[in-house]
Amino acid sequence: MLRLLAAFCYRAVYKLHHALCLRPGAPLQNSKLIVVGSYRTGGAGKTPFCIWLCKHYAAQGKRVALLAHDYAFDETAMLRQIFSGTESIQVFATKNRYRLAHELDESRKFDYIVCDDGFEDSRLTGAVTLLLNWESAPTRISELWPCGKMRSLAKDHRINSSNTIPLMCHGENPDIRFVIDKVLHIATKTEWDGVSKANIACGIGDPERFCKDIQNFGIHIGQTYFFNDHCKTFSTEFEQHLQDQLQDSFIISEKDAARLPAEFIQKNVNRQIFVAFQTTKISPETLQKLP
């Protein structure tokens, strides 16, 4: 009951914030604006899909700006590592996607501006939204945070076929699949040696799905240690688990690895710490839908 009351309060604040602060703004004039969004509070696969999408546009000779929220410091660090040395893709961290998108649009330097999230920012008028769905669109207050995993209801958005493209991420024939395709040692980059058991330490939006992906890769899971998404104390807490279990192997996500300072990796170079790398697979039909 208390959570349901909190969800009602959350929705009231959400509606008030949109009415006062997030009124529809002006569309971009030069660049194509793409929003990769989801109703979920986290764990929808927005960032992995943004990585694939930017590479897709860059392969066509397009110049791409990728906008991430600076609160997600770990995602920004990971994205900059991935696109380091890639001249056609630049990563920007911002508190205000709308303002930065217009500044970049005025510079005329980019063909596409891709927003990692921004589905809730109703100022982004004229954007094409690629909406990642793992379930049906939420319609009840009880589905909202903190009762459920959703940030808003379907009726809170102007959904139409001209500016929103729903993409299914589950079922037998999904539009998008996220698959772990390699597990490498964090320091030496050697491949997972086939040992059948490993502990999982991760602070991401959907750690349970990460564990399922690890199992699908063929690795048996021992202990699991879950942290909050964007956890700033991940390295110190992870270090403690390493000290408590000196002989165990650990697997973390690529985003978790981006939180670890170079000194941590150097200090633990001889420990069995591995990073699971995820690939994004798009159906042929979905390719035809993309703007």
Q: Report if residue 289 sits inside a domain.
A: no
> Are 130 and 10 part of one and the same domain?
yes
Residue 146: cis peptide before it, omega within 30 degrees of 0? yes
Domain end call among 170, 201, 222: 170
- Parent domain of 196: 179-281
- On whether both 8 and 26 belong to a single domain, the answer is yes
pTM across the whole model: 0.95
* Residues 57, 84 within the same domain: yes
pLDDT of 48 reads 97
Q: Are 253 and 202 in contact (CB under 8 A)?
A: yes
One-letter amino acid of 264: F
What are the beta bridge partners of residue 237? Answer: none
User: What pLDDT shows up at residue 161?
Assistant: 67
Say whether both 224 and 118 belong to one domain. no
- H/E segment holding residue 178: strand 176-185
Q: Is 194 left (phi over 0), alpha (psi -120 to 50) or beta?
A: left
pLDDT (mean) for 96-123: 97
* Residue 247 banded pLDDT, cuts 50, 70, 90: confident
Same domain, 32 and 93: yes
Residue 98 lies in a domain: yes
Task: Please write the tens of the pLDDT for every residue from 149-162.
Answer: 999 999 999 877 67
pLDDT of residue 137: 93
- Average per-residue pLDDT in the chain? 94
pLDDT tens profile 205-217: 999 999 999 999 9
210-239 residue pLDDT tens: 999 999 999 999 999 999 999 999 999 999
CB 148 within 8 A of CB 142: yes
Residue partners of 120: CB distance under 8 A and separation at least 6: 22, 37, 151, 152
- Last residue in a domain, options 170, 192, 224: 170
Tens digits of per-residue pLDDT, 44-71?
999 999 999 999 999 999 999 999 999 9
- In the predicted model, is pLDDT for residue 22 greater than 70? yes
Residue at a domain's end among 135, 170, 205: 170
CATH of the domain at 197: 3.40.50
Strand order in the sheet with 197-202: 176-185, 273-282, 250-253, 197-202, 220-226
Q: Flag whether 286 is in a domain.
A: no
Which pLDDT score is estimated for 162? 75
Q: Are residues 256 and 144 in the same domain?
A: no
